[in-house]
Structure formats: C-alpha cells, structure tokens
Structure 1
C-alpha cells in the first residue's frame, strides 16, 4: 500500500495527497505533518520506513470539505486520490492475474487537484464574489493575460503592455496566477503565483488545445486572437485539464477585452479609491459594499465586474442608464422583479458544478427553477410597453427557446421538489416520470402490500380463501394451502408449481411470484442504478444547453444589477449623469457615496460640493487645513466618474462628464516595505506613473505631493508637477496641497484655479465647514488641528510661539533664536500639573465602604469641591 502511495505522491509533487482508505482520506510523511498543523488534528503513526515511523493523519471522507477549505486557504494544493475499484473487484482482478486474492490492493488514482483558482463547490466559494484563475505569458515581447472562473465557465483574454500588467492583475484580482517560470515581471508579493515550465507555454500546442476543446478547425471563429493571447488561453486550459484530470467542465469561448473598451485604473488608484476593498482588505467600507443592492449572488458578481472595469463606450453606458431609469420610474415592476429575483438560484455555478462532474440533483433543480423564474421575469418586462422596448436586447437573451422550454419541462417533471444534494443517495426522481422506476420503488417500499394483493388474486383465481403467501429463508416466498385444497392447485401445473409437501400443508410457487421475489430482492439496487442512469441523462440534457443556460443566467444577473442600482438611486437621491465625448467635468451637489452612507447611519447629513473642471479651469489647486475634507472631496469626484462610466446613477444633483480614459489617484501615505520602498519613494513612483501616462482625457487627483521630504525639495517637486500636469498632460485634475506658494502659479497657468476648504474661526477655535469655495486658503490651521487631536497644551503654546517667530519676518535669525530658547524644563513641569483638592479627595475615596447615606453626603461634597 505504501509503495502505491509513494508512486502517486511522486506523480503529484507539490500537492498534499488525500489518499482514500475506506471512509477516510489519509495523509502520510511530510503531508501529514503539514496537514495536522494547519487543520489542528491528531498526528498518529502507521508502519515504518527505513526504521522510522511514518507520520499519518486523516479526515473523514463524508465531511472532508471544511478541512479541504482550510488547506486551500492556507495556500496549499490538494490532490484527491480515490479508490477506482471495490475490494471484490480487486480480488477478482488478482485472481485473473494469478495472484492471491488475499493480497489484492485496490487501485487508486488522483481524480482531481484542488487549488485556490479551481474551486467549484459552493461551501468553498464566496457566493457574491468571483473566483478567478489567470494566466500571464509573453510571446516575442507581446504580453497577454487570460482569466476564467471555473465555477461559472466565464473566460476572458486581454493583450497588455508590460507597464499595464499589475494594473490588470489588480482589476481581475485572481486567486491564482499561472506564469512561465522565467518570466521577467515584478509581481505584487500578495499574489498567489503558480510557476509552470516554459515548455507548457508553446503557441502551437495552445492552438491545438483550444481547437480540440471548442471543436473548431481553426480559431478564427473565436475572434482575432494574437499568438500571445492564444498561448495564454491554451496554457490556462491545459492547466485546467490537468487539475481536473481530463474532465473538462463547461468553459465559454474566451471574450477578448481591450484596454480602450474600459476606463483604465492603475493598482495604486484602485487601492486609494477603495473600489472593491478597503485599505485593510475588507469588503465592508468599500464602494462596492456601499452600492450593492443586488439580491442574487450572480447579480452581486456582475456588479463587482462592472465596478472593476467601467466602460468607455457611450452607447453601452447609456443602455445601462436606460435600464436603471426605466426601473426607477416603474416602481411596481421593479418591486415585482426584485421579489422574484430573491428566489433566483445561482444557475451559473450550478451549471459549472454539473459540467465538472461535481453536481447533484439539487443543481439540476436549480437549473429548472432558474429557467422558470427567468420566464416569469421576461413576462414582467414585456407587460410594461416602455420597459419592453428599453430592455429589448436583454429580453432577446432570455426569450423562450424550444430546447430550453423542453429542458425546463423535463426537469420539472423528473425531479422532486426538494431533492437531495448527492445523486449517489438516490430518491430524487419524482413519481410518474419513469414507469419502471416507479415499479422498483413500489416493490422496494410497498412489498407487503404487493404480496397481499397477489395473494388475493390467487385466492380468487383458485377459489381457495385459505390460500396464503408466506416467506422463509429457505424457500423465499411461497404459496401455502391445506392438504385438502392441494389437488385443486395440482390440476393447474402450468400456473402453480409444486415446491414442498408438509404433514398438513402443501407449498407452491408461480412464475409471477418467483419474478416478484427476485424483483423485491434487487429493487433497491435497481432503483438506485436506474435513478443514477436518469441523472446522467438529465445531466447530458443540461450540458448540451450550456451556452443557452449561461447566456440566460448572465442576462438575469445584469437585470438584478440594474434593479439594484435603481433601488440605490431612489434610496439615496442619485441623479442620471450626462456622458459624452466632450472634456467636461461638471458636478453639482456631489457627495462621497461611502461617507454619506456612514453619516446617514448616524443620523447626520453630508455637505455636498460642486466641481467644474471645464476647459477654462481644468486644473484646481485645493488648499485648506487637514480634517476639513480635502481627501474626501478628491475621492468623491473620482468615485462619481467611476460610477458614471460603469453605467450607474451618481451621488450628485447633476453631473456632466466627458468620457475619461484613465483615472489616477494619489491620496494618502503608505510605504512598501516588501519592495524596500519608503513612503516618499512610493509617492514619487506613483506620481511618476501619473505624469508619464495621463492624457488630456484623464482625471487626476493628487494630495500633498512632496510632503515626504524637506520643505523646499517638496515645494519644488509639487511646483514642477503642477506645471507638467497643466502644460504637458493637460488632464482634468485636482491638486490638493499645503504649499501656499503654489497659488502664484495661477498668474502663469491660464487653466489653473485656486479653491479651498471653508473654515470658520470662533473664539480662538476653528469650525470645519466641509464646503469648497473659490480662492486660496490664507493658512493651513495645523496648530488648531493638533489642538483638536489632543496635543499637550504646552506643545500647542510652544508651536504658536515658534510659528509667530517664523512668520515675523526675521527668518534668517529665527532658527538661532529658537535653538537658544528651548524651554524643555518648563514644558516638563507644565505637563505635570499639581493635583487639585478634588482629585486628592477622589484618590482617597473607597466607594465599597460607603453606606447609601454616606454616598449621598460624598456626592454633595464632590459638588462643592467642583464649584470652588
């Protein structure tokens, strides 16, 4: 047995081998050590090798998935090794091969390799998030990225420039990335990378693999794919075939994605704007979580895909906005759609499991239910003439098709209302669907009634009321009559066959009774075998309609996304944005959607602000104190642009946006210690990317460029960046800064205008108005913000005196004066004030020793001390 294990392990190096032994998956040697630690299960021993005991641990076969999920989450790959024959079959094989049956070893084979990117089971996946596996390769200097979701069959490919690779990977967010082992690309350390031999990335082999899978003579029918794109797709398909051990699930033909078709958002900007994840990596608090009103898992995944890749095609954007507007105006329709969508099963993933050979009767039921609900939804849309016209293209994807109607009817007739999850247990075919199966089940479940009925028939036929059908372990079922009635049956030997004569009774059988006995004995076995055969037939019917089912499922997901965005717009008073080919960016009453939602939950309101980056003032210089809302304002305008181009209404009173090709956001400070980059280096790298890539159709938001170095260095860098953005990039943008010297640039740069965050001063304190107004701020109020943050009073006073000296006009002597007057001891003393009488009284007080009367007296005494 161990030799068999070692041979299988050698063929699947780099994986943890789940070796099936009866009701357990066992792991040995180093695999056992790793698994026991990750799973926190008992480590035992089994046998010895070279004098050393073999470590072993195991997990139950019937409940292995939670253990599998832990190992996969920990970054391991797991090879599932099953027994491919029964012990009896192994013994029979041994006899045929001339070996002792007692030493027969059951054959085992790896049937699947599970990785983070190849999960299909519901309990291993997040229902509302996609689980992509991607493949990056280069052919003759040209890069291509392909990615798919195995659980739904979605498949995409995109040509890339090397500089755009990490941005694309941030957008796709694959759970696993395949690359050639010697590819010269610097990846984010957080990526789960699977390196493959370069020999697996051969374009000719990739082409043949694709032609075989999609059953085409040439790949022209799949679109105009480059060698790099074909190689990437083929290598990914090859990896899927190897991990699924030859059983290819349903995978749609790859859809080609181009950079020009979507709004480009680099990795740093995506993180800065917290589109789908916050800086802490959590979904909660992100823009996605804020706008997600979908009611189906597939709709949630469609929303995430749309938000991750906003459009640049005005016609497609307007179509999505038309969907939303129609559903906003038709409230009864929207509510009816959302009510029925809540019952919509995840057809995409059900089809994925079925095609991968891991589906069950419940997945078939999900397909049947999903097709039926889709018909209902189609009827709702068609019942409203305006919506029937607006949703014309979507309706064409879910219109009735004879093949799908037949499939839906067949599944509805074939399956019980609440079938079991696993086909192997049987009991999922409805009564009346298959007559022979009904017979088997009746025999299995109602044998006593059938025997009683047959006994009555024989009594009537023979005229012997005392005739009985009995059973024993020797004869099985038999007919028994008294000796005086035996002659009547003996006269009909063609029907009644003599079995045994007793002292007072005679026993007979019939051909029908013998057949019935045999059928009863094997009814359960035949019932299960026939059900499994019927399952295979229903499975084949479903997979034959994979493309049509997938198209309908994707269309329903889009409908759910539109209905959810309509609900979002109504609940939060969003407006329909106007998008065109101009270079306008005019927002009235704009709000930050996430911050607004947070304030709303606390019963507070958000202060809206306008923003007009028209040609006359396409670059804003934004000044004002920290905590006044600059960063929120910067981000809200970028988020409004993202929402508009994904085809959503936006948080504003009105919005006119000329299509943006790229959005860049440099807001906030962070280092990148994994790559040896300081905070300032990260800032400069990201700023360099903006200045090198932004165009006159881009939107740029920059916050405090140059703050990470010496004052004059930082000012110089910020000054040059503003000039470059204005004169070279000519992008629409907002540049937030504390360098008030930059306001002088408005005299030289005609499209640069100054704006600031409004602040009110009241009795020495400041009040943040969170309102953007024209003109530059007169100062940054840094000391006031420090005071609000709780800096010691001595520090605040010292800071004020230092500031007064620096601003006194004696800057040449200011530093020396400050150095000569360091009030360290005064500050120290000031920081430790003498305890008051009230504080001393409270220190000496023992509350536990007080009676109620004493406690009341103490309260009066404390009040008196406080007023003194």
Structure 2
C-alpha cells in the first residue's frame, strides 16, 4: 500500500506500533542460544528512524481517512498549528458574539448556525423579530423564524472556512510527503515481516509440540516410513475429555512391506489411519514435531491421496468418474519417494468391477519400478488373497470386538485381514428403522449362502496362476520349436530384412498349427 500510495493514516500508525513490537522480539532472539534464532534476531531491523518519523508526524489517534482532519500531530507544523488555533478561536468568537448580541437585543433564543446556501446566520424566532436591530440583513424567512446575517459574522466566517480548507490541504500535503519518505523502507519492512512470519510459525510449532507431546522426527534419505504410536493431530483434540486417542504403528518400505492392505468395519478408523500418516509426513517435512511416540521418515516428494467421495455434476462427472480420474492421475505420476493413500477404491461401481479395479491398481503399484509406499483401505476382503501372490503386500485390519448385540470398535491396527464389514451394524447405529435392520440381516444371510464369498475368493486366487504363466508353455511342441528358432538367432548379425523374414517364418509356423 505504501508503494502505491494507497495507505491511510491509521495503517501507518499501526505499522509504527508493529515495528515497536519487534524491538523486544529482536532482543530475545539475538540473545538466544539457538544459532538459527540468533541469526534471525540479528537480521531483524528495529527501524528506529522510521518509528520516530511516524511518531513525530502523525497523531496517535489518526483517522482512517486523511480528509477527516487531525491526522498530523500537534507541534509538527507551525503553520498548521496556527491555522488550527485560528479555527478554534474563530468558533469561540462566534459563541462570544452570540452572547453579546443576545444581551444587546434582549433576544434570549438567538441561535448561530450555518448551511451550504449562505453560510453562517443568526436565527430569530418570530416572537422576537420586532427586536431585530437595523444593521442585521435578512436572508431567509421560515414558518416560525427568520434568518439574518451581519458584516461582522461574514468576516469571521471567511476566516474560519478559509482556515479549515487550508488545514485540510496542509494535512494532505504533509501526509503525502510522509508516505513518499516511507517508500525507502519498503524492503526493510517486508524483510521484517517475513522473519516475524517465520518466528510466528516456529512458535506455533513449538507450542503445539509442547502442549500435545509431539516428538522430533528423524528425517533421512532412505525410502522407509516407520511411525510408532502415531496419532491424528485434529481428531485427538476433538475427543471427549478423558477419552484417549488410540495410537497406531505404521511401517512401510520398498523391500518387505511396500503396500499395506487395511480392511475393517465401517467407522472403525481406517480413513483416520490413512490421514494421520499423511499429516505426520507433511508436518515432519515442514519442520514441525509430529504426534507420535517416535517417527523415522525417509524423504517424500509427493503425497497422493484418494480419500472421500465427491462428484462434479457441472462437468457431467459422477462420483465414480471423479474417483477414477484422481486415481489415474496418481498412477501416472508416482515416483520412488511417493506416498500413496487410497481409500476404498472401486466402491462406486458393481462389486466385481470394483474388486477387479482395486486388484489391478494394487498389482500395478506392486509391480511398478518405483515401488511407491502405499496404504490401501478397502472393504473388498477378497484383496486379502493378494499377499499369497505379491510378497510386498501385507494385510492389516482395524480390530473390533463382537459382543452379544453390538460391535465395539477398538481402533487398533493389527496384522491379518478382516472378514466382515459390519455395515448393517453401522446402519443400526445411525438410527435406521428396526424393520429395515431385521430385513437386511435376513437378506445378508441368504446372499452369503447363495453367493459364497469363499467361491469369489477362490476365483480371485486363480488370478495368480494367470499372472505367473511363463511366456512359453513348454508342453506345446510348437512353442518349443519357436523358442529354439529365437534362441538360435544371432541378433547382432541380423539385417532388418532378415529379421522380417524370420518373423514371417515364425508367423507361418503359428498359422500352420492353427489350421491343423
């Protein structure tokens, strides 16, 4: 605002007050044992000349708009002080004149006022107009009064109005000169603001860590992520008084446990674990302590999340389409230092489509050369079978305790897959009519009998055989012959034409077999 001359007097006073607040901060930081804080303290500018200039130029109670007057301090400009004195004394003179004329004429209800038409005037009620002296000049007649002017009144009006106009002009000029002078300090003030912003952020981190028992995270160049007793920084603050947050361990690397497949009931806390992991990594990398017992974090370049459900109706995109767009973006941009968090991918379509997509995405992430660390929360319990095929995928579940008529959520992440989602129990908790709950349980029992999840799991298991097939099934003599042809071909001496001829020869062998 100073650079564009859009700043107002009150903002300049606030700037001065802010600079004065820097003085004790600079002293504290400069005497600090921490080298980084000491450098910041030494770099802060106290701007003493700037503060003194504003203090002597502007009134401490300066208005927002310079046109309202009283912006410039008393004693800064002798001309301004003189005009202010004249303005005030002129008004005092009018009051004395009113007293004098009331005594001279005997009219006790005399009033001196002004308007935009003819300036200052003396108003006389009709009951006293016969007492008006001859030297008064009538200017206006009202229903119940008449207004007059005198030569003496006009002279003092000119002095007062002239003084007020001149006062405003001088105040504007002096304020403009101050703003112009301030421009040389723009860079210094901006540097101060940047350093104070840094200190404010660091103080916020320190207070947060102190009050909520955060720990110092060990950052290194590895690809590992090892969080012990991690907590969600927001959820733990919103819990009822006396209720502890159930902390969880998360370990991910690129060699043994690249993908954690998290299953568990609705409302058990799967999404919270995903989000807290992302927040702990993010807090660590912006320089904050983290909500955990300990944390060892290899540098992460990107945190990819596909959490929650939303649509984009204006663009004609369904919830599932938005989910697929976001997931595609993740798969196309992962690197070896990426952290991928996927929450219930494929839930927006049919069960078989969803399982197929979720399986294929998990397989892609496992087989990708970058081997990105991944947390995958899902209700597709069939995905638990992936651990038998893919050695870096591990099953975990958020545990629950099944009681007689309800389910107790323990919120603890433990090894192994989960076989139930308890969706009907969550519907009951939400207040669904008892008739609906009863009917849903009956339908679930029928579906479980007619569409055995074991049958579906067996089908999914068979996928691993398809994936592990050799390119050549050596029981087939034709493929054995083709293998011999390829193995015995010297690629280094093969010309492009010979290569095409060799390819055509292999093709003829296959076509001949097909016809037979």
Say whether the fold is shared (TM-score over 0.5): yes
Distance, in Å, in 2 between the alignment partners of 1:521 and 1:722 is 83
Partner of 1:688: 328
Partner of 1:609: 248
Q: Does 1:564 align with 2:204?
A: yes
Distance, in Å, in 2 between the alignment partners of 1:738 and 1:780 is 7
Partner of 1:6: none
Q: Which structure 2 residues correspond to residues 700-739 of structure 1 after superposition, within 5 A? A: 700-728=340-368, 729-739=370-380
Change (3 A) 1:595 1:806: farther
Q: CA deviation at 1:758?
A: 0.5
Partner of 2:192: 552
Q: Which structure 2 residues correspond to residues 636-647 of structure 1 after superposition, within 5 A? A: 636-647=276-287
Residues 404-434 of structure 1, C-alpha deviations (whole Å, 9 max, x = no match): 3222111011122211111111202111222
* Residue ranges of structure 1 left out of the alignment (5+ in a row): 1-351, 451-515, 813-868
Residues 345-366 of structure 1, C-alpha deviations (whole Å, 9 max, x = no match): xxxxxxx2x4334321101101
1:386 aligns with one of 33, 48, 51: 33
SS across alignment from 1:553? helix
CA contact (8 A) 2:90 2:159 kept: no
SS across alignment from 1:758? strand
Partner of 2:398: 757
Partner of 1:407: 50
Change (3 A) 1:409 1:421: same
CA contact (8 A) 1:666 1:687 kept: yes
Q: Does 1:438 align with 2:89?
A: no
Equivalent pairs, count:
391
Q: Does 1:578 align with 2:218?
A: yes
1:420 aligns with one of 57, 63, 70: 63
Distance, in Å, in 1 between the alignment partners of 2:33 and 2:17 is 27
Partner of 2:487: none
* Residue ranges of structure 2 left out of the alignment (5+ in a row): 94-155, 457-516
Q: Which structure 2 residues correspond to residues 839-858 of structure 1 after superposition, within 5 A? A: none
Partner of 1:670: 310
Q: CA deviation at 1:793?
A: 3.8
Partner of 2:18: 370
CA contact (8 A) 2:209 2:290 kept: yes
SS across alignment from 1:786? helix
SS across alignment from 1:652? coil
TM-score (norm 1): 0.43
Residues 364-404 of structure 1, C-alpha deviations (whole Å, 9 max, x = no match): 10121111111221112224x314x231342244134xxx3
Distance, in Å, in 1 between the alignment partners of 2:372 and 2:450 is 37
Q: Which structure 2 residues correspond to residues 253-268 of structure 1 after superposition, within 5 A? A: none
Higher relative contact order (CA 8 A, sep 6+): 2
Q: Does 1:782 align with 2:423?
A: yes
Distance, in Å, in 1 between the alignment partners of 2:64 and 2:309 is 50
SS across alignment from 2:187? helix
Q: CA deviation at 1:669?
A: 2.1
Partner of 1:741: 382
Q: CA deviation at 1:734?
A: 0.4
Between structure 1 and structure 2, the one with the greater Rg is: 2
CA contact (8 A) 1:786 1:796 kept: no
SS across alignment from 2:33? helix
Change (3 A) 1:745 1:449: closer
Q: CA deviation at 1:594?
A: 1.9
Distance, in Å, in 2 between the alignment partners of 1:586 and 1:550 is 40
Q: Does 1:597 align with 2:237?
A: yes
Distance, in Å, in 2 between the alignment partners of 1:611 and 1:448 is 80
Partner of 1:799: 443
CA contact (8 A) 2:424 2:437 kept: no
Residues 267-304 of structure 1, C-alpha deviations (whole Å, 9 max, x = no match): xxxxxxxxxxxxxxxxxxxxxxxxxxxxxxxxxxxxxx
